[in-house]
Amino acid sequence: MCADTKLVPTWYIGKRDMECATNFMNDLADRLSNRVQLTTDGHKMYLEAVEGAFGSEIDFSQLIKLYGNTEEGQKRYSPAQCVGTEKHRIMGNPEDKGISTSYVERQNLTMRMNMRRFTRLTNAFSKKVENLACAVALHFMYYNFCRVHQTLRVTPAMEAGVADHVWGIEEILQLLLN
């Protein structure tokens, strides 16, 4: 996710394994034309996948969250409390102020709020991975092209120069017919 435009240039549904990390990073690299700063979580698979996709043409860092256990956390259905973070510069020259996963974490919340299948402790799930992929694709098309972002006052696609107007749902549906 681009911190400046809020555009989500790609997404991937898969396991957290090397093959999926490689596919995801290759797709991201193919969609970008400029050198970027990239921050991932501490997932080990990203180390090799990012280097394979971008070579040395990236400013790459990882933000690793440190979690602690609380008595309250053991009694409820919520993740452990984050007690700190570690920033690791992996490749290139990432700016310290840009090492963050906050934007993508906010996007994950937006996804959970807008798609029932992603809410916690739900029985609304996709029985087929193809149905999940279609739901996620529709979400990101709407998010990127139709939804005016409050802080941008335009859609992420307009801010990124990919679109020149706010799309309507009809335009997304028309893509399916072509």
CA distance 131 to 145: 21
Residue 119 banded pLDDT, cuts 50, 70, 90:
confident
pLDDT of residue 92: 97
pLDDT reading at 76 higher than 90: no
Give the global pTM.
0.86
CA distance 29 to 136: 20
pLDDT reading at 95 higher than 80: yes
pLDDT reading at 73 higher than 80: no
Locate 169 and state its tokens: 């749902």
pLDDT of residue 20: 97
CA distance 105 to 118: 13
Residue 55 banded pLDDT, cuts 50, 70, 90:
very high
CA distance 156 to 6: 5
pLDDT of residue 74: 58
CA distance 21 to 27: 10
Give percent of the chain with pLDDT exceeding 90: 75
**Region 62-86 average pLDDT:** 78
- Answer for the pair 176, 22: CB distance below 8 angstroms, yes or no: no
Residue 77 banded pLDDT, cuts 50, 70, 90:
low
Q: Is 118 left (phi over 0), alpha (psi -120 to 50) or beta?
A: alpha
pLDDT reading at 116 higher than 90: no
